[in-house]
A and B are shown apart, each in its own frame.
Chain A
């Protein structure tokens, strides 16, 4: 077999790292969008699928894009992914399912290719939970697994955006008459037949209904959310492209050379390198600018302990704690986090954030933890985070072992400290032994200080 040689060993690891660095940088970019590049790449997707190149509308943020899309979709057809099959029910969902990825890649092909990529990654690099979603596992192993978390934060902020945007419809006669001019000849006739007041009332009500149906977050947004393309937070395309650009190209050939897919992936990489999320409608593409600010933790997940993690030019802000979307006050006013607030939080992820910000040890000390066991090694405390539920096999809880420092302080007192241990621990000895990687019976120091 000819073709490029498979990179191996150190060479392969270096290439994987370089690929991860590049795509972490793309996801973290806060440069202004490269509009010319983005427009050319998006237009080429349209042309490749036999459509006219679209007009472009640039918006300052994904939140603005969602709003623009929900309005523009009244006058522009959606583009339905041709791979969409409407798998559910009688197939009439085709248009709905297809919205998720206009110009999408064939799902079965994508899945096979991502599994192939995963098989090429040295197993030591793969996260343990990689089995279920090969794309996520590959992205994690390649070092840009946090990117999907960025997209998640973006989705959470845009899904709630525009609340309170419903317009108070202006009803003064002059502006109503001016607006109703769009009806042309029909308007004077309606005024004549219904009377001016009644006609104006009907027009205002009709306008209000349209505004509500278009701008109401609950109704209009779901469609726009599904149709949102990831842009710079694309995870799939760089994972698929890794088969060629990191692992040496052989996988592409084996999957009967879908040149069409290859070009499409290439185009998507270009879009990712040049702009934020975007939406495709027939004749119109809506493209978002990149954020002005994007703070991430060392795993690439949006995170900022005291300010917005993401902020866009139009003032839209997102708050996040290690990739988990949280309300503004959790970040800006952590003093408001109380034991009651923690217990009242139903979402387990957010509750974990609250506990982390409040302090695990403090929750054990102040939150009414139960003493599970006590022996010469220390005291084992448990603080439940959930009410016991009838069918729950395990309950989320924090278990910590409290131990005394063997060396007394100058004043004779002993410092105590808390160590978190796995929730299955039953005795303090077992817990302390675990912290040294030993079983309870194997832990028997004869001297301590």
Chain B
């Protein structure tokens, strides 16, 4: 499943799902038209913030861009980059286009208007 196991870091094959805590990267074919670029935060591409701790799933490399379209977010990387988080091991992301999915939790309809809330670690 891996195409490169020689270095210290394993770079997964392009177009494979990657997960770091409550963030899942799902390979996508294209970014929809009209996507907006999401600004970098302190030089980093931040995929998700923790709600309380201030921790973040973030990429420092300039080879990564985060785009937003139709309430979905897309990560586009032109080279292998590292996804980092204060409490998780870093994960290497192969070049490609990914849809960024934040983990959610079920909330019964009687309790809240939405039937899920996002998870934040």
Q: Does B10 contact A (CB under 8 A)?
A: yes
Contacts of B38 in A (CB 8 A): none
Q: Please, how many angstroms separate the alpha-carbon atoms of A448 and B19 in the complex?
A: 5
Contacts of B115 in A (CB 8 A): 422
Q: Please, how many angstroms separate the alpha-carbon atoms of A407 and B103 in the complex?
A: 17
Distance (whole angstroms) from the CB of A415 to the closest CB of chain B: 9
Q: Does B95 contact A (CB under 8 A)?
A: no
Q: Which of A415-449 contact B (CB under 8 A)?
A: 419-422, 434-438, 443-449
Most chain B beta carbons < 10 A, residue from A299, A356, A445: A445
Contacts of B106 in A (CB 8 A): 399, 419-422, 434
Contacts of A436 in B (CB 8 A): 24, 26, 101, 103-104
Query: Do residues B17 and A419 form an inter-chain contact, with CB atoms below 8 A?
Result: no
Contacts of A438 in B (CB 8 A): 24, 26, 101
Q: Does B61 contact A (CB under 8 A)?
A: no
Query: Do residues B104 and A435 form an inter-chain contact, with CB atoms below 8 A?
Result: yes
Query: Do residues B20 and A449 form an inter-chain contact, with CB atoms below 8 A?
Result: yes
Given contacts A420-B105, A421-B106, A435-B104, A447 and B91 within 8 Å (CB-CB): yes
Binding-face segment, B28-36, B46-54, B82-90: B82-90
Query: Do residues B90 and A356 form an inter-chain contact, with CB atoms below 8 A?
Result: no
Contacts of B107 in A (CB 8 A): 420
Query: Do residues A352 and B90 form an inter-chain contact, with CB atoms below 8 A?
Result: no
Query: Do residues A445 and B10 form an inter-chain contact, with CB atoms below 8 A?
Result: no
Query: Do residues B105 and A443 form an inter-chain contact, with CB atoms below 8 A?
Result: no
The number of chain A residues with a CB under 8 A from chain B is 26
Listed in ascending order, the chain A residues whose CB lies under 8 Å from chain B are: 127, 299, 322, 349, 352, 356, 399, 405-407, 419-422, 434-438, 443-449
Most chain A beta carbons < 10 A, residue from B1, B12, B24: B24
Nearest neighbor of A444 in chain B, beta-carbon distance? B17
Distance (whole angstroms) from the CB of B74 to the closest CB of chain A: 15
Q: Please, how many angstroms separate the alpha-carbon atoms of A219 and B14 in the complex?
A: 74
A/B interface sample: 22 pairs, CB < 8 A: A127-B113, A352-B111, A399-B106, A406-B19, A406-B21, A406-B89, A407-B88, A420-B106, A421-B106, A422-B106, A434-B106, A436-B24, A436-B103, A436-B104, A437-B104, A443-B17, A446-B2, A447-B12, A447-B92, A448-B19, A449-B85, A449-B91
Determine which of B18, B103, B111 lies in contact with A322 in the assembled complex, contact meaning CB atoms within 8 Å.
B111
Q: Does B7 contact A (CB under 8 A)?
A: no
Q: Does B77 contact A (CB under 8 A)?
A: no
Query: Do residues A407 and B111 form an inter-chain contact, with CB atoms below 8 A?
Result: no
Contacts of A127 in B (CB 8 A): 113
Most chain A beta carbons < 10 A, residue from B1, B108, B115: B108
Given contacts A436-B101, A438-B26, A446 and B108 within 8 Å (CB-CB): no
Determine which of A299, A356, A407, A419 lies in contact with B119 in the assembled complex, contact meaning CB atoms within 8 Å.
A419
Known: A419-B119, A448-B19. 18 other contacts (CB 8 A): A127-B113, A352-B110, A405-B21, A406-B19, A406-B21, A407-B88, A420-B105, A435-B119, A436-B103, A436-B104, A438-B24, A445-B17, A446-B2, A446-B12, A447-B16, A449-B20, A449-B85, A449-B90
